[in-house]
Chains A and B, each alone.
Chain A
Amino acid sequence: MSDAFTILGGGVCGLAMAAELSSRGAQVTIFDPKGAPGEHACSWWAGGMLAPDCEGVSAEPEVVRQGRKAADWWERHGAEVSRKGTLVVALGRDQSELTTFARRAPNARSLDRKAINALEPHLADHFAKALFIEEEAHLDPRATLATVHARLPQNGVSFVNEIKGQIIDCRGLVASDTLADLRGVKGEMLVVLCKDVSLSRPVRLLHPRFPLYIVPRGDGVFILGATQIESGERNRATLRSVMELMNAAYALHPAFGEAELLEIGVDARPAFPDNQPRIRHLNDRIYANGLFRHGFLLAPALACMTADLVLEGKTPEVWYEDHRER
């Protein structure tokens, strides 16, 4: 296999792929007609949580195992990673959600009001119990995409409209033109400005109908996410979804009622039937896709596995499918 590669797609998957391959000395070109990272990529709308334990409550064990590598990888590639853990809370009558979560996230530690107060003083008035997963981290997706994008030329990566060498297809949902089992899972999120609430880490509000995460971006900006709807629609945020996110935020802290609404984001995540990513060798092309809601969590592992495959001939232990004509 040659060590010249053209990566199709400049979202989180393509940029991580380019960063990993070029840092190992490969010659990399990124082909993305949309140019620099922006709202055309679904990673633009991500929460940016690197929270393998929280995800493990409903995701496969391999997502947890591979996701643990993410924070270090992003830091190595220039991203600013905040390692302050995740706080998980539930409203008074939903305490059973907290019990189930604790059972399924073995690294979660129970906190009382005093301990909550030490971590997030603004939540201590509203919650007497919480769970804390100390090892988890978060980053700012847009800043991270921009940083990684800006650093790539230093490693010889060019952004041109020509294809040379081995194609690695990282186009996300667009690749469903060839990958028949790739589907879209619609997500809606909000960006709000609220100077009255201060949080230092992602907070998850468990709820049987309207679960919510809030990620602080600094300067009073918060990300509220995200819905998960079986639909490939990449636009059209509905009033119901937006209202549910707002209600949940208001329930977490009433001061969110006064927040300014900055953005309503909507896109569809690319996913395979088991919601785990895949490296697929189909005809002459390598596809890396299906990051689902785990773009920033799993793109590093997916990129490393793909690099092992194409540079060293190592077959990835998981998520690899060879569909070449023999």
Chain B
Amino acid sequence: MPTFYGKEIASRLMLGTAQYPSPAILADAFRRSDAGIATVSVRREAGGEKAGQDFWALIQDLGVAVLPNTAGCHSVREAITTAQMARELFDTNWIKLEVIGHADTLQPDPFGLVEAAAQLTDDGFEVFPYCTEDLVLCERLVQVGCKVLMPWGAPIGTGLGLNNIYGLRSLRAHFPEISLVVDAGLGLPSQAAHAIELGYDAVLLNTAVAKAGDPAAMAEGFARAVEAGALAAEADPMEPRDMAAPSTPVLGKAFL
């Protein structure tokens, strides 16, 4: 099971908490997914005096680890302020760091991300950076102290799946000691299974579950998929080959 900053989590599935038809359906989805971590957006719900406290109480009732995020932040300064607010609200050093660089695709800003990750790490945070699958960016993030990397599969909310399998595979190969999570872009359980088969420690998703017609059923679908992917990854799968190899030998077949 995956370990993030020394804390072992009993599930390879992390779920976001936005966009569900209701908090009751959100809670159902968590129950059926057995997700170990809930990500929560701090920025949008924050406001006056504890304005979102009812919703946060619902999240805390889920009984899973909370990973606050800096969703919607477009600059280093915004992201850092939001992270500090999150630490106070949720009493955790964990922060899923998003620094958005492009308003339309919500693509991470790699330069701002490294800068914010460095400052937050210095300030005692344990940073989960939402990044692209760029190897050099990931190296920089690790150099400034990140022990978790969260490359995207595809842009947030698109459901396009794993767009650069080569890139994701090479991250796994280059960072054997780092916990890797595919974050964003997943639409179907089969894509989540694929990510785990590649050796990823976990997947994080939100829209695919929240916007499904039956979110709780989709959550369970993803739960089974990551389990299947993990079994496959541990089972030492065969290598693909071009030459057909019959599983039943033809020679010596009984003549009828």
A residues adjacent to B (C-beta < 8 A): 58-60, 100, 103-104, 183-184, 186, 208-209, 229-233, 236, 271, 273-276
How far is it, in angstroms, between the C-alpha of A231 and the C-alpha of B48 when the chains are bound? 9
Residues of chain B within 8 A (CB-CB) of A59 are: 21
| Known contacts A208-B157, A231-B47, A233-B48: A273-B55 contact under CB 8 Å | no
B21 contacts which of A58, A100, A208, A229 (Cβ < 8 Å)?
A: A58
Contact A274 B54 (CB under 8 A): no
B22 contacts which of A104, A231, A275 (Cβ < 8 Å)?
A: A275
Contact B54 A184 (CB under 8 A): yes
Contact A229 B45 (CB under 8 A): yes
Residues of chain B within 8 A (CB-CB) of A271 are: 22
How far is it, in angstroms, between the C-alpha of A230 and the C-alpha of B207 when the chains are bound? 17
Q: Which residue of B lies closest to A96 (CB)?
A: B159
For A59, A104, A208, A271, the residue with the greatest tally of chain B CB atoms inside 10 Å of its CB is A208
Q: Which residue of A lies closest to B212 (CB)?
A: A100
In order of increasing CB-CB distance, the 8 nearest A-B pairs are A183-B54, A274-B24, A230-B55, A275-B22, A233-B51, A231-B51, A273-B24, A58-B21
B42 to chain A, nearest CB (A): 12
Residues of chain B within 8 A (CB-CB) of A103 are: 213
Contact B54 A233 (CB under 8 A): no
**Sample of 5 A–B contacts (CB below 8 Å):** A100-B211, A186-B51, A231-B45, A231-B52, A274-B24
Q: Is the interface of B mostly helix, strand, loop or mixed?
A: loop
A129 to chain B, nearest CB (A): 21
How far is it, in angstroms, between the C-alpha of A271 and the C-alpha of B23 when the chains are bound? 10
How far is it, in angstroms, between the C-alpha of A60 and the C-alpha of B211 when the chains are bound? 14
Contacts between the two chains (Cβ within 8 Å), count: 52
Residues of chain A within 8 A (CB-CB) of B211 are: 100
Q: Which residue of A lies closest to B47 (CB)?
A: A233
- Interface range for B: 20 to 34
Q: Any chain A CB within 8 A of the CB of B198?
A: no
Q: Any chain A CB within 8 A of the CB of B89?
A: no
How far is it, in angstroms, between the C-alpha of A219 and the C-alpha of B137 when the chains are bound? 56
Contact A229 B44 (CB under 8 A): yes
A278 to chain B, nearest CB (A): 12
Q: Any chain A CB within 8 A of the CB of B231?
A: no
B105 to chain A, nearest CB (A): 12
Q: Which residue of B lies closest to A103 (CB)?
A: B213
Contact B23 A273 (CB under 8 A): yes
| Known contacts A274-B24, A275-B21: A230-B45 contact under CB 8 Å | yes
Which residues of B in the span 126-163 have a Cβ within 8 Å of any Cβ on A? 157
Q: Which residue of B lies closest to A227 (CB)?
A: B44
| Known contacts A229-B45, A231-B47: A183-B22 contact under CB 8 Å | no
Contact A104 B52 (CB under 8 A): no
Residues of chain B within 8 A (CB-CB) of A183 are: 23, 54-55, 58
For B24, B27, B53, the residue with the greatest tally of chain A CB atoms inside 10 Å of its CB is B24
A218 to chain B, nearest CB (A): 32
Against A, the Cβ 8 Å flags (1 = close, 0 = not) of B49-61 are 0011111001000
A92 to chain B, nearest CB (A): 14
Q: Which residue of A lies closest to B23 (CB)?
A: A273
How far is it, in angstroms, between the C-alpha of A183 and the C-alpha of B25 when the chains are bound? 15
Residues of chain B within 8 A (CB-CB) of A231 are: 45, 47, 51-52, 55
Q: Which residue of A lies closest to B40 (CB)?
A: A230
For B22, B44, B52, B58, the residue with the greatest tally of chain A CB atoms inside 10 Å of its CB is B22
How far is it, in angstroms, between the C-alpha of A229 and the C-alpha of B22 when the chains are bound? 12
Residues of chain B within 8 A (CB-CB) of A275 are: 21-24
A60 to chain B, nearest CB (A): 8
Q: Which residue of B lies closest to A274 (CB)?
A: B24
| New contact pairs (18) apart from A208-B207, A232-B52, A275-B22, CB-CB < 8 Å | A59-B21, A103-B213, A104-B213, A183-B54, A183-B55, A184-B54, A209-B157, A229-B44, A231-B47, A232-B54, A233-B48, A233-B51, A236-B47, A236-B48, A273-B22, A273-B23, A273-B27, A274-B25
Which residues of B in the span 8-29 have a Cβ within 8 Å of any Cβ on A? 21-25, 27
Residues of chain A within 8 A (CB-CB) of B51 are: 186, 231-233
A59 to chain B, nearest CB (A): 7
Which residues of B in the span 104-135 have a Cβ within 8 Å of any Cβ on A? none
How far is it, in angstroms, between the C-alpha of A104 and the C-alpha of B25 when the chains are bound? 17
Contact B48 A274 (CB under 8 A): no
How far is it, in angstroms, between the C-alpha of A209 and the C-alpha of B157 when the chains are bound? 9
Which residues of B in the span 61-97 have a Cβ within 8 Å of any Cβ on A? none
Residues of chain B within 8 A (CB-CB) of A184 are: 54
Residues of chain B within 8 A (CB-CB) of A232 are: 51-54
Residues of chain A within 8 A (CB-CB) of B45 are: 229-231
How far is it, in angstroms, between the C-alpha of A231 and the C-alpha of B57 when the chains are bound? 12
How far is it, in angstroms, between the C-alpha of A231 and the C-alpha of B24 when the chains are bound? 16
A23 to chain B, nearest CB (A): 32
Q: Which residue of A lies closest to B44 (CB)?
A: A229
B41 to chain A, nearest CB (A): 9
B133 to chain A, nearest CB (A): 23
Residues of chain B within 8 A (CB-CB) of A273 are: 22-24, 27, 58
Against A, the Cβ 8 Å flags (1 = close, 0 = not) of B203-240 are 00001000101000000000000000000000000000
